[in-house]
Structure 1
Amino acid sequence: MLNSLVDLARESSSEKRRELLGQVSALFIADANRYSDEETALFSGVLGRLVEDADRQEKAKLSARLAHIDETPHDLALQLANDEADVAKFMLQYSNALTRDDLIQLARAKSQDHLLAISKREHLESRLTDILLERGEQPVRRSVAANPGAELSDWGMRLLLKLAGQDAPLRDNMVDRVDLLPEHYTRLIEMLPDDQRQVVRQMHGKNTALVESLLREAGEAVAGNALERRRSRIDAKVALKEIKNGQTTLDEVFLTLALARNLFDLSFILSKLSGIEQKYVTNVMVRYDIDGIAILCRALGVGTSEFNMFCKARGAHLKLSKAAMDNWMQDYKNLATEEAQRVLRFIKVRLTTMAQSTP
């Protein structure tokens, strides 16, 4: 394989080299976690040369594919991250191959579109958010405010609070943050129109209460017996991989497990897709109230008919009446996807914060 890669890199035809880009990248992605350091370095050199002759569309496609591969060579990731924004944005937002120092240097030098992509990363250290807020224009600052994984320094928080007075979308994003001190939250609430203040207060209180309920001991919060794995025609780990690869859908897997009343494996699937520990998902799975599991399922895009089947399985587990299950379904139909996703983001960050503060 090593010799064949070297031969590919020596191709003199630009057209041929562009055609080879897709083939070589597919070869790397297929077994990225199995290659030796020497092989990975060789892939980096070959792909780096092929990228030089590729057009923007081809480079963007490569960047999108490699951004989610942790084994992507650092030099190659940095090469793509330094390209035009429509190529670089995938690496800047998703790649774990880029270091903190890489991101800081890029944030100091690149365009607003590059900064916007960085601002959407799952986690941003306060040193990096300070640069984004200092150099970034309104879209970047709004994006930082909306990112629950963006750490804010004292300076960054004060700047965003100041900007919130004249920027309603930014203010709305700030209200949803869980790292606000009481005085910050009070200040933001006072900026809202009168008809929104009470609604936001009630929503914030409800979300906080929901998170706190997730952290209770099972004996206090869980209704009914612990979940047991039931036999079904699918393997949960295989199904999870197929969902992520687009070979099947969450609805299909969800329905199969619900029909089998296999709530244990269902909680595993929902945990992995939502990024919430399984013990918390199991907790809301077997509670009498529907709020937690409905938010989780709606945020992940579970269909109404699939959720209806789940309600029947859950109701049987808790030995509840049909009327109770009908009420669950009505609540689910009334729950907007955007609202569920917003609450899920709140829950994830708050759970992380509370877990870190627990001795």
Structure 2
Amino acid sequence: MIVSPSLIPELDDIVSRGDPKRRADAARRVSQLFLQGAASFRPDHVDLFDGVLTSLVPHAEIAERAELAERLSSLSNAPRGLIGQLAHDDEIAIAGPLLRQSPVIDEKMLLEIASMKGQDHLLAMAERPTLSTDLTDVMIARGDRAVVRRAAGNAGAAFSETGYSTLVERASQDGVLTIRLGQRDDLSPAHLKDLLSGSIDIVRRRLVTVVKPERQAAIKQVMAVMNGASEREERRDFLPAQRTVMKLHREGMLGEGALLNFARAFKYEEAVAALSAMTGVKIETLDRLISGDRDDPLLIAGKAIDAEWATVRALILLRAGPNRSASPADIETARVNFARLMPATAQRVVAFWKTR
């Protein structure tokens, strides 16, 4: 029939007993033959090619298999056995094109690959036109930050209730994920509220600028409620903390060690009161500066009192709160900025704060 001895001499012998080089050459020729006539082949023709190619293609070079996978990825009648073989390949250059778009790969195969392969395979899969809730559950459970972000940004992905809850929880430490989740049309009001509650103010404001107008209203409404609650929370009583700090001062025990202990115990009022006493800046001023969107005030105050990085880091984590943590990348950026900050510069800024 289509694949005949006249086109591929001694094909049966090559398939069963040929050396790798002859098999690789035959794989190229049979693949080309299939791709040239795929549009007109009947299912039985495709099955015949499938049996031959699954035996030959593994002997082809990686680059050749990757090119074949790319060309097969858009075909709805591509050989199923061959597609499964290539999609399971450990080389992402081979498996990737098929995982991203091949219509031949069914749900069962996708779940199997998602459960056993690595992050590159999951990342490619996250680009598929549609993703079922079963599939995204596996991707969320096994995927790293890049995988989860890409899946969340895929409009064709569906997420279960558990999947969304996990995503919202992970978003509390990932501003990019927060933005992508907030833009999803299928995000419920309850999940939106949880998403905004776990994010910092600068991320919320960014989200408002990128979502559709109809979503903006919902976000602003939730933020208004949260800001009202936040304002009530911000009416802090620093008097008990001041008494504690003054007692330490009288006993000669007010120093960096005490400040570090307050920060690690998430005692905000005591930490701010101690920092106020050590820098000479009013509590109200420090509280307002620290409550902003940046870590700079903590870096400046820490450098001005010649604090160690461990103490400043603890203050940054205190600022985030016990239920959230800054990302490792943000912490590293703060560390580098703290190291570069000159003490004289920090002291000039603190002197300015004292006049406010």
Q: TM-score, normalised by structure 1?
A: 0.54
Q: Give the secondary structure class of the aligned counterpart of 1:123.
A: coil
Match of 2:132 in 1: 125
* Residue ranges of structure 2 left out of the alignment (5+ in a row): 217-356
1:99 CA displacement: 0.9
Q: Give the secondary structure class of the aligned counterpart of 2:38.
A: coil
1:16 CA displacement: 3.3
Change (3 A) 1:19 1:117: same
Task: Work out whether 1:180 is the aligned partner of 2:181.
Answer: no
RMSD: 2.3
Q: 2:152 aligns with which of 145, 162, 168?
A: 145
Amino acid at match of 1:112: Q
Change (3 A) 1:133 1:205: closer
Task: Work out whether 1:10 is the aligned partner of 2:13.
Answer: yes
Amino acid at match of 2:120: D
Q: 1:94 aligns with which of 101, 116, 119?
A: 101
After superposition, what is the alpha-carbon deviation per residue over 1:19-60, rounded to whole angstroms, capped at 9, x for unaligned? Answer: 333332222122213112221111112211221211222211
1:180 CA displacement: 0.6
1:202 CA displacement: 4.8
1:154 CA displacement: 0.2
Percentage of pairs with the same residue: 32
After superposition, what is the alpha-carbon deviation per residue over 1:111-168, rounded to whole angstroms, capped at 9, x for unaligned? Answer: 2222222222110110111111112222222222121111100000000000000112
* Residues 27, 56 of structure 2: 8 Å contact kept: yes
Q: TM-score, normalised by structure 2?
A: 0.54
Change (3 A) 1:85 1:179: farther
Change (3 A) 1:136 1:202: closer
1:179 CA displacement: 0.8
Task: Work out whether 1:19 is the aligned partner of 2:22.
Answer: no
In structure 2, distance between residues paired with 1:6 and 1:152: 52
In structure 2, distance between residues paired with 1:31 and 1:99: 24
Aligned residues between the structures: 209
Change (3 A) 1:195 1:117: closer
* Residues 25, 47 of structure 1: 8 Å contact kept: yes
* Residues 171, 199 of structure 2: 8 Å contact kept: no
In structure 2, distance between residues paired with 1:63 and 1:181: 38
Of stretches 8-17 and 122-131 in structure 1, the one that deviates more from structure 2 is 8-17
Alignment of 1:1-359 (within 5 A): 1-4=2-5, 7-8=10-11, 10-11=13-14, 12-86=18-92, 87-206=94-213
In structure 1, distance between residues paired with 2:90 and 2:153: 25
Greater relative contact order: 1 or 2 (C-alpha under 8 angstroms, separation 6 or more)?
1
In structure 2, distance between residues paired with 1:133 and 1:62: 30
1:101 CA displacement: 0.7
Q: Give the secondary structure class of the aligned counterpart of 1:31.
A: helix
Amino acid at match of 2:105: L
Change (3 A) 1:72 1:19: same
Amino acid at match of 1:48: T
After superposition, what is the alpha-carbon deviation per residue over 1:38-83, rounded to whole angstroms, capped at 9, x for unaligned? Answer: 2111111221122121122221111111111111111111000111
Amino acid at match of 2:70: A
* Residue ranges of structure 1 left out of the alignment (5+ in a row): 210-359
